[in-house]
Amino acid sequence: MRKTKSHKLNKGQVLFEVVMALAIFSVAVAAVVYLFFGAHYSVLFGVENFQAIMLAKEGIEAVRSIRDANFANITTTTDAGIVLIDNKWTLQSSPDTIGKFTRKINISQVATGTWQVKSTVNWISATGRESEVFLLEYLTDWR
């Protein structure tokens, strides 16, 4: 004698399976979107960070150029900017604004004939948060 099993479908079980499938699909889509935008913002931040580092480096190089022209031109400064006049770098009294970036040069004497130069660049990143990089260098009268 052969027994056949009756296949009763529980109406609640089908609804539960549909809801679970939608939930799993939604989580998967959200994860892909999160990864895409996370990677996108990481690339943007990397580009902005690189630009800021190059601007900070330019600030240090400008002060080095001022030192090379005449060491006596190096003085204590706070939140100064730099400007190129007649192909010579000159310190100015206010910070530089280059696009979304603001560069400040701070120079302080740490010993006789030795100056600490700090070039700081601030900006608001693509994610809306405040970001900052700085480079520090010590310059001496090498002549």
Which pTM value belongs to this model?
0.72
CB atoms within 10 A of CB 105: 24
Give the residue from 140, 100, 92, 96 showing the smallest Cα distance to 120.
96
pLDDT at 27: 87
pLDDT band at 44 (very low <50, low <70, confident <90, very high): confident
* Rg of the chain on CA atoms, in Å: 30
Give percent of the chain with pLDDT exceeding 90: 55
Tens digits of residue pLDDT in 71-126: 888 889 999 999 999 999 999 999 999 999 999 999 999 998 899 999 999 999 87
Q: Does residue 19 have a pLDDT over 60?
A: yes
Give the residue from 141, 83, 82 showing the smallest Cα distance to 112.
141
CA distance 97 to 95: 7
Domain ranges of the chain: 12-140
CA distance 43 to 132: 17
Q: Does residue 68 have a pLDDT over 80?
A: yes
